[in-house]
Amino acid sequence: MLRIAVVGATGAVGRECLTLLDDGIVPVGQVVPAASARSVGRDLAAEWGLSLPLAPLTAVEDLDPDAVDVAVLCAGAEVSRREAERLAAGGVLVVDNSSAFRMRPGVPLVVPQVNPGALADRPAGNLVSNPNCSTIQLVRALHPLHELAGLESVVVATYQAASGGGVRGLAELADGSARVLADPGAPPEEAGGEAGGEAGGRFGQPLPFNLVPEIGLQDETGLSHEERKLAREPRKILGLPELPVSATAVRVPVFHCHSEAVHIRLRRPVTAEAVEDALAATPGLRVYRRTQSPSYPMPRSVFARDEDRALVHVGRIRVEPEDPRAAALWVVADNLWVGAALNALQIVELAVKQGWLS
Ligand SMILES: NC(=O)c1ccc[n+]([C@@H]2O[C@H](COP(=O)([O-])OP(=O)(O)OC[C@H]3O[C@@H](n4cnc5c(N)ncnc54)[C@H](OP(=O)(O)O)[C@@H]3O)[C@@H](O)[C@H]2O)c1
């Protein structure tokens, strides 16, 4: 039976990996949780009520490659840069959630519903990258439309939840919001930063009751790190190296689920019905047609049910009356499931099907 390590098991994504494994998404013989040395001794099965076969939590540097077949890394790019290749060299198939290897040639960047062919063969380096959370929901909505009428260009604005900032991001929004409600006149910097944490907190700016139009550092052109990922990663996944993708990434004071306003230009004219039908025929997508009420998904309703957390939701589907090659969509998905843990475990599922891990 499959032996799987979850590195970063105490974090927001790691916890969702354990939850999905507990639900049986992939049959496992043993799950080895790993995190920093600070967390050794924590009993995650007891803390979170899990019944999966969980080994004692280990520090990642003590994780023995001979003890596992596959490792899902969700401990940040620094840990991935340090540990991924050690594990991969030891024969472990590594599925990495960080940005460390995504654009490296030879490392497949995989969304199983979009480019499963990237995993036709076991990668020589034993490394597979999980795309950025905002990229995954974007390409899952774009792929059927590319097949329908050919993508020419994409403009996207993201509305990204605090859970994208991990456990600390969630705590910071909760604590900061409570402080604003307790003292609405307090200066924003006192209400925003992480409780007892560094200045600027997890999001660089106070997030409660605010909008922060900068996710990750800006480069010399003014593009933020998140915006660069949103431009590059869809090209690699969709196999469209020249596709222009222009992004504005915004952190919003929502706990869970990223939303995206997406404007696309297609090579051939379409109708809104054809766009709805193409999306509705795609497994894993839920479409909100213009005739429905509401005709759009929202983060809180998507997060409310596990069934919805596992899907990409698309609504507000429009085609410009004066330009039938221009369409617009509103896309919502749970960044912790669709954008991270679920995609990573679906890659593992694919690897099991390929017979690489038996
Ligand atoms: N949150 C999202 O929506 C999302 C979506 C897609 C991808 N990702 C990626 O997934 C990764 C995890 O994100 P997250 O949101 O789950 O973060 P998080 O909640 O902050 O969790 C971080 C995890 O990494 C571990 N860790 C931190 N420093 C470590 C070290 N030096 N050695 C070993 N373990 C260490 C932490 O362990 P301790 O508890 O022991 O510190 C914790 O388990 C990141 O690469 C992120 O970019 C996140």
Rounded CA separation 275/268 (Å)? 12
**DSSP state, residue 109:** B
Check whether 44 has a pLDDT greater than 80.
yes
Span from the CA of 34 to the centroid of ligand 1 (angstroms): 11
Check whether 143 has a pLDDT greater than 50.
yes
Check whether 303 has a pLDDT greater than 60.
yes
165 and 281 in contact (C-beta within 8 Å)? no
Query: Annotated catalytic sites, by residue?
Result: 133, 258
CA-closest candidate to residue 141, choices 279, 289, 249: 279
Of ligand 1's listed atoms, the one at least distance from the Cα of 9 is 43
Q: Is the CB of 342 under 6 A from ligand 1?
A: no
Reduce the DSSP state of residue 85 to 3 states and report it: helix
Q: Is the CB of 57 under 6 A from ligand 1?
A: no
Q: Whose CA is closest to atom 26 on ligand 1?
A: 75
Rounded CA separation 82/80 (Å)? 5
Percent of the residues in the chain that have a pLDDT greater than 90, as a whole number: 94
Span from the CA of 82 to the centroid of ligand 1 (angstroms): 14
Check whether 197 has a pLDDT greater than 80.
no
Q: Is the CB of 166 under 6 A from ligand 1?
A: yes
Q: Is the CB of 19 under 6 A from ligand 1?
A: no
Q: Whose CA is closest to atom 39 on ligand 1?
A: 10
36 and 60 in contact (C-beta within 8 Å)? yes
Span from the CA of 131 to the centroid of ligand 1 (angstroms): 15
Q: Is the CB of 341 under 6 A from ligand 1?
A: no
Span from the CA of 323 to the centroid of ligand 1 (angstroms): 44
Q: Is the CB of 340 under 6 A from ligand 1?
A: yes
The model's pTM: 0.97
Span from the CA of 8 to the centroid of ligand 1 (angstroms): 5
Task: Assign residue 316 a region (left: φ > 0; alpha: ψ between -120 and 50; beta: otherwise).
Answer: left
pLDDT (mean) for 115-123: 96
Check whether 199 has a pLDDT greater than 60.
no
Torsion of Cα atoms, 348 then 350 then 355 then 358, to 10°: 30
Ligand 1 pocket check: which of 36, 95, 132, 135 to mutate, most ligand atoms within 8 Å of Cβ?
Answer: 36
Of ligand 1's listed atoms, the one at least distance from the Cα of 75 is 24
Give the model confidence (pLDDT) of 229-241 as tens digits.
Answer: 999 999 999 999 9
Lowest mean pLDDT segment, chosen from 127-131, 143-147, 187-191: 187-191
pLDDT (mean) for 242-255: 98
DSSP H/E element including 230:
helix 225-238
pLDDT (mean) for 209-218: 96
Give the model confidence (pLDDT) of 259-298 as tens digits.
Answer: 999 999 999 999 999 999 999 999 999 999 999 999 999 9
Q: Is the CB of 58 under 6 A from ligand 1?
A: no
Span from the CA of 165 to the centroid of ligand 1 (angstroms): 9
Q: Is the CB of 14 under 6 A from ligand 1?
A: yes
Q: What is the mean pLDDT of the chain?
A: 96
Quick one: tokens of 197? 């944490």
Scan for tokens 């774009």, then name that residue. Answer: 142
